[in-house]
Chain A
Amino acid sequence: MEGINPWYAWWAIVIASAALTLVGMALAYRRWDN
């Protein structure tokens, strides 16, 4: 992993967290029971 700017990995985790949030919301809201 030498040579990779660690900021990219930091941003990747931030963006993955956002993606998980949005996908999770989309899936959960389809089956919301109230």
Chain B
Amino acid sequence: MNQFVEIPKPGMEYYLPVAIGILVFFVICIVVGMRARKSWTSYEEYVVGHRNIGPVVTGLALSASWLSGWAYLGSMGVTYTAGWSGMYLASMWSLFGIIPCLLLTAQKLRKYSVKLGYTTIPEALGKRFGSRTVQIVAAVVILYYYLGYSIGQLKAGATCWYAVAGLSPVWCILFSVVITWLYLAYGGYTGNQWVMALQGILVGVGAMLLGVVALYYVGGPAGLNEKLVAQSSNLVQLIRPDLPAVGPTQAFSSWVGVFGTLVLFVMMASGFPHTTSRFLGAREITKKDMTILIIMVWCIAGFPIFFDSITGLSARAVFGPALLKINPWKADLAGPFISMVAGGSFVSTLYIIGLFAAALSTLAALVFVMVTAVTVDIVKAVKPSVNDRTLLTLGRILTGVFVLIPFIFTLINPPELLAVLMSQVGVAIGSTFFFSLIMSLYWRRATAAGVLACMIYGLLASGIFGILVTKKTIGIGTVYLLVAAGSGIVYFLGSLISKPPKAEILKIIFDKD
């Protein structure tokens, strides 16, 4: 007799509540986002709001922008495939990046944004170093990375929709990008921040509920391990030396790989410009505000995400390795299917809404950063006389272009290795901005040359090492370490051997008022 539960079949039982739930979700997003459409009177206010957003909304939006479709689908797929040793790559280290991001970055970045009058991350760098070149190069680097990074964002939604509804995801995904365009184009930063806060709540509730229900379904902590051991003792190992030590599996097969995943999450969560941008529109951050921010982050990107690993493991315990044979989604089906068998239509509906919330909030944050990189950091930096109306029109058109690109790539060429694709680009973005932006908030000796060298290194290293991982010449964890450490070395050395920054710039930034 087969010891595993039968794979659920999509049908009306799941489709109807999910379709209604997603529709309600879209309506709420549009209502909330469009409420901000008349809250701005200049392009600057459109880009950064009134810098008066409180810590609850900021904390929820930060968590939502950080958690992508990976947190809902990819993470669960990793532990489903590798067992417990997959938990390191399955977002378990998230707080090791987000907490330093909050404590090191939030207050200073927000304070300097008022003092120096910047509205975007590239502009922050430009003003920090008194260099328009740094601003423009940072904008180009962000565009390059984020175009690649955004491509995978809709795949999670498409996969999950197909698994649960059994229908083509085209209309659902198209509808979601149109909604995202509307509230981004008309609600600006403030509208996006409000929608992301709402999405953050849904992300947290969905992931937490599914994790608890799935664990209960498999018989609790002991039941989970018993069922995994019955399949293979490898599934309950903390590392898997039986897997190759080179290529993507290094993240599970050696302690170097595991350490690499820790560094990856520290760099990504603290360095991503689309997460640190959440602080630019915040009100002045007091200790009390910071405490609230931290509580919000723990509620959304802490407890619920710790359960991601457990959800994936529960799916393995329930279905066995059967999902690995279902092309092209394979392990990505772990989350949707366990939500259906363990939680029924109610939990699967909440799960899929949470997934769309996670994917769309990250996509919206990426798109807004890309749009402002072009309008503020390239067009306006090159031609300061350009008027607000032109920037707004250009911004709205670009928003449409940037949401359509991932939509098209989801349809014509779904990137199968979501994990590899995202983490390769992720470590480069994270490392580049961890040093260029965050370290430069503290280190006076940092220079424009050091920052430019760091950016160029990130571009070259992620490309070259990425190819070597694909060819299984080196391990993925080693790449994380080489990209991160190399970015730091190049940044510090490049700064130290170049001319020290001008005293008048440092005085404006670092001296107390």
Point out residues on A near B: beta carbons under 8 Å. 1-2, 4-7, 9-10, 13-14, 16-17, 20-21, 24-25, 27-29, 32-34
Q: What residue of chain B has the Cβ atom nearest to residue A1's Cβ? A: B238
B interface secondary structure, majority: helix
Instruction: State whether B225 touches A7 (Cβ < 8 A).
Output: yes
Whether A5 contacts B225 in the complex (CB less than 8 A), given A21-B298, A24-B99, A34-B284, comes out as yes
> Out of B100, B238, B302, which one reaches A6, CB within 8 Å?
B238
Docked CA distance A24–B99 (Å): 8
Instruction: State whether A28 touches B290 (Cβ < 8 A).
Output: yes
Within 8 A of A (CB), among B262-296: 284, 286-287, 290-291, 294
Instruction: State whether A17 touches B512 (Cβ < 8 A).
Output: no
Instruction: State whether B99 touches A9 (Cβ < 8 A).
Output: no
Instruction: State whether B93 touches A13 (Cβ < 8 A).
Output: yes
A-B contact pairs, 6 of them (CB 8 A): A6-B87, A20-B96, A21-B294, A29-B287, A32-B286, A34-B286
Docked CA distance A6–B92 (Å): 13
Per-position binary interface string of chain B over residues 217-255, scored 1 when its CB falls under 8 Å from any chain A CB and 0 otherwise: 000010001000000000011110000000000000000
> Out of A10, A20, A21, A27, which one reaches B87, CB within 8 Å?
A10
Q: Does B113 contact A (CB under 8 A)?
A: no
Which 8 residue pairs spanning A and B have beta carbons closest together?
Answer: A6-B84, A17-B95, A1-B238, A28-B103, A24-B103, A21-B99, A13-B92, A7-B221
Q: Does B306 contact A (CB under 8 A)?
A: yes
Per-position binary interface string of chain B over residues 90-127, scored 1 when its CB falls under 8 Å from any chain A CB and 0 otherwise: 00110110011001100100000000000000000000
Chain A residues, CB < 8 A from B63: none
A interface secondary structure, majority: helix
Chain A residues, CB < 8 A from B306: 10, 13-14
Q: What residue of chain A has the Cβ atom nearest to residue B233's Cβ? A: A2
Closest chain-A Cβ to B182's Cβ sits at a distance in Å of 37
Chain B residues, CB < 8 A from A29: 287, 290
Whether A25 contacts B92 in the complex (CB less than 8 A), given A1-B237, A6-B225, A14-B306, comes out as no
Count class of interface residues, chain B = 20 to 34
Closest chain-B Cβ to A11's Cβ sits at a distance in Å of 10
Docked CA distance A25–B287 (Å): 9
Q: Does B309 contact A (CB under 8 A)?
A: yes
Docked CA distance A29–B290 (Å): 9
> Out of A9, A17, A32, which one reaches B84, CB within 8 Å?
A9
Chain B residues, CB < 8 A from A27: 103
Docked CA distance A5–B284 (Å): 45
Instruction: State whether B93 touches A6 (Cβ < 8 A).
Output: no
Q: What residue of chain B has the Cβ atom nearest to residue A5's Cβ? A: B225
Instruction: State whether A24 touches B100 (Cβ < 8 A).
Output: yes
Instruction: State whether B286 touches A4 (Cβ < 8 A).
Output: no
Chain A residues, CB < 8 A from B92: 10, 13
Chain B residues, CB < 8 A from A25: 103, 290-291, 294
Docked CA distance A7–B238 (Å): 10
Beyond A21-B294, A34-B107, 8 additional contacts (C-beta under 8 Å) are: A1-B239, A6-B84, A10-B306, A20-B95, A25-B291, A25-B294, A32-B107, A32-B286
Docked CA distance A28–B285 (Å): 13
Docked CA distance A20–B291 (Å): 14
Q: What residue of chain A has the Cβ atom nearest to residue B228's Cβ? A: A6
Chain A residues, CB < 8 A from B237: 1-2, 6
> Out of A5, A21, A33, which one reaches B95, CB within 8 Å?
A21
Chain A residues, CB < 8 A from B221: 7
Docked CA distance A14–B211 (Å): 15
Chain A residues, CB < 8 A from B309: 10
Closest chain-A Cβ to B288's Cβ sits at a distance in Å of 10
Q: What residue of chain B has the Cβ atom nearest to residue A7's Cβ? A: B221
Docked CA distance A6–B313 (Å): 12
Docked CA distance A2–B87 (Å): 16
Docked CA distance A25–B99 (Å): 9
Whether A32 contacts B302 in the complex (CB less than 8 A), given A1-B239, A20-B95, comes out as no
Docked CA distance A29–B287 (Å): 7
Chain A residues, CB < 8 A from B287: 29, 32
Docked CA distance A29–B285 (Å): 12
Docked CA distance A9–B85 (Å): 10
Docked CA distance A20–B294 (Å): 12
Instruction: State whether A20 touches B99 (Cβ < 8 A).
Output: yes
Chain A residues, CB < 8 A from B302: 17
Docked CA distance A5–B107 (Å): 40
Q: What residue of chain A has the Cβ atom nearest to residue B286's Cβ? A: A34
Chain B residues, CB < 8 A from A16: 96
Q: What residue of chain A has the Cβ atom nearest to residue B95's Cβ? A: A17
Instruction: State whether B95 touches A6 (Cβ < 8 A).
Output: no
Instruction: State whether A6 touches B512 (Cβ < 8 A).
Output: no
Chain A residues, CB < 8 A from B103: 24-25, 27-28
Instruction: State whether A17 touches B291 (Cβ < 8 A).
Output: no
